[in-house]
Chain A
Amino acid sequence: MTVFESTKQWIFPGITLWQSHTLTIVVSSCLAAVAAFFVSSEHQVLHQRTLMEATARQQADAERDRFFSLAQDMLCIASTDGYFKRVNPAFSQTLGWSGEEMLARPAIEFCHPDDREASLREAERLAAGEPTIHFESRYRCKDGSWKWLAWKTMPQPDGQLYATARDVTESKRIAEQMSRNLQDLEESNKELEAFSYTVSHDLRAPLRHIQGYVEMLQRATEGQLSEKAQRFVKTIADASGDMGQLIDDLLAFSRMGRVGMHEGIVELEGLVQEALRNLEMAVRERKIEWKIGALPRVSGDEALLRQVLVNLLGNAVKYSRTRDPAHIEIGCAGHEKGRIICFVRDNGAGFDMQYAHKLFGVFQRLHRAEEFEGTGIGLANVRRIIVRHGGRVWAEGKPGEGATFYFTLKPAATA
């Protein structure tokens, strides 16, 4: 401060010594204050920076802690002694143990006895510095149940393990259930195949015998049987014939569900012509006015779709046989969910809409066999084929006014 004192007189001329002395004190105090200010502010900046850094760190810590607490996955740090050092609340939420309980026992004690060996092997790998990408083990819950945990673990150079675990109990249960379902399905498919094999061999043989022996009986008794007796014999033959048809239809229907699909581009118009050729016998001596609209190329199994058209056109021909002329129309009726709606319409016997749900059932018929022959398998086959193609089939009709059958098919991809 004396440095400033020696200069005060020429700095402040006309001021008494005393005054000057006082001034000196004043000035020096001011200077001291200024100096002190500068010195202290320097401190303060430093201090403030540290403070800010600390706050940022605290903030980051708080953020991390918040995430740590919030995480739905289990997060933990385990140390080299095999104990958890820190676990997040998700552990308690999943397993039911408190955080303290989790830290109080070696981690391996929570592990299912059957999974311990694999867990210890995994721990060895981790100790060698190799991270765990995926490891599953069962952990015991406080209520005694077990949960499957999927682990991902990263070892640190100091031997500490940072790990996350996810509760995969439910997804494992679903996967197991699905594989069990699949097994059951394969099993029942095999049984079904064995069943239809047996049906096709063992049920047809006695029928063949009935028919054969009736025929041989007729030949052996020619001219000896009364008219009534002949009618009985004929009824036996007819009945066994009906049953043979039922068995054949049922087997064909069962095969329809199992046969492999060979998907390709199918020209529906060509298939309609083929189906019509198939029906030549049925349309002979009939007056039918056909109206065949433009039909698209679709994606599907040609043999199966041919069957659909043969069945639907065959039905249209059959159920319109009392009409003169019969009108049968085939065409497209727009689109539905990217699929083409095709239809077959006739002006035949029709049906009551309240029974529409029965139309496509196996062996379900809406007409008596005396009115219209058939076993009731055709539309069941149609439905099965269309459903296997990912489409749907439905019908509209009115008794005495005809019926329209609709089905949807995927259009062929345009090249």
Chain B
Amino acid sequence: MNDLQRILLVDDSPRDTEMVLDALESHHLANEVAAVRDGAEALDYLYRRGEFAGRAHGQPAVILLDLKMPRMDGLEVLRVIKADAALRLIPVVVMTSSREEQDLVNSYQLGVNAYVVKPVKFQEFVEAIKHVGGFWAVLNEPPPGSQRRRGEA
């Protein structure tokens, strides 16, 4: 729990989380995921407070953010992240069930880095997660201070 992971997965559904981890397994990324269950926990993780007070310094290379969550939803988290100079550079990928235009517009207005609709069909879902994880956690060069691949400096 107190390790810094490359991927911060924010999703209130344990099923979605399990499916995402399953899909990331094929990229050997599953054990590089920190999973939290809502927006409030996500901010605790990023600000190293609450149950994450003791976690290692640095930030994840990417945040995979669900939108519809109890307590604090994804858009609120996104607003906080993009308004804070210390967090603003972390790439945020919204991953949601909805392709509602209002969500798209709001997300991009708040400065989201990518927006992915979770496909209903599992194969497509797995493909989407692989792409997202592969691109943002492997291919993309994260901003300084982010967690890099294990074994890299």
Within 8 Å by CB of B122, from A201, A211, A247, A248, lies: A211
Q: Are A205 and B121 in contact (CB under 8 A)?
A: no
Measured in the bound complex, the distance between the Cα atoms of B102 and A390 in whole Å is 27
Q: Are B125 and A204 in contact (CB under 8 A)?
A: no
B residues in contact with A244, CB < 8 Å = 120-121
Given A201-B97, A205-B13, A209-B15, A215:B120 Cβ within 8 A: no
Measured in the bound complex, the distance between the Cα atoms of B119 and A241 in whole Å is 11
- Interface membership of A57, Cβ < 8 A: no
Q: Are B16 and A205 in contact (CB under 8 A)?
A: yes
- Interface membership of B99, Cβ < 8 A: yes
- Interface membership of A214, Cβ < 8 A: yes
Count A-B pairs with CB separation below 8 Å: 59
- Interface membership of B98, Cβ < 8 A: yes
Q: Who on chain B is nearest to A205 by CB?
A: B97
- Interface membership of B107, Cβ < 8 A: no
- Interface membership of A208, Cβ < 8 A: yes
Q: Are B125 and A212 in contact (CB under 8 A)?
A: yes
Measured in the bound complex, the distance between the Cα atoms of B98 and A215 in whole Å is 22
B residues in contact with A200, CB < 8 Å = 97-100
Q: Are B98 and A201 in contact (CB under 8 A)?
A: yes
Measured in the bound complex, the distance between the Cα atoms of B20 and A216 in whole Å is 12
B residues in contact with A240, CB < 8 Å = 120
Interface size on B, residues (CB 8 A): 21
Measured in the bound complex, the distance between the Cα atoms of B15 and A205 in whole Å is 9
Per the 8 Å Cβ criterion, residues 112-148 of B in contact with A are 118-123, 125-126
- Interface membership of B5, Cβ < 8 A: no
Q: Are B96 and A208 in contact (CB under 8 A)?
A: no
A residues in contact with B19, CB < 8 Å = 208-209, 212-213, 216
Per the 8 Å Cβ criterion, residues 240-264 of A in contact with B are 240-241, 244, 247-248
B residues in contact with A209, CB < 8 Å = 13, 15-16, 19
B residues in contact with A204, CB < 8 Å = 97-98, 118, 120
Measured in the bound complex, the distance between the Cα atoms of B99 and A379 in whole Å is 23
Q: Are B97 and A208 in contact (CB under 8 A)?
A: yes
Q: Report the minimum CB–CB distance from B150 to chain A (whole Å).
A: 26
Within 8 Å by CB of A208, from B22, B99, B100, B118, lies: B118
Measured in the bound complex, the distance between the Cα atoms of B97 and A197 in whole Å is 10
- Interface membership of A395, Cβ < 8 A: no
- Interface membership of A207, Cβ < 8 A: yes
Within 8 Å by CB of A207, from B100, B120, B126, lies: B120
- Interface membership of B68, Cβ < 8 A: yes
Measured in the bound complex, the distance between the Cα atoms of B144 and A85 in whole Å is 91
Measured in the bound complex, the distance between the Cα atoms of B67 and A200 in whole Å is 12
Measured in the bound complex, the distance between the Cα atoms of B99 and A201 in whole Å is 9
Q: Report the minimum CB–CB distance from A234 to chain B (whole Å).
A: 13
A residues in contact with B96, CB < 8 Å = 201
Nearest 4 interchain pairs by C-beta: A244-B120, A215-B122, A212-B19, A209-B15
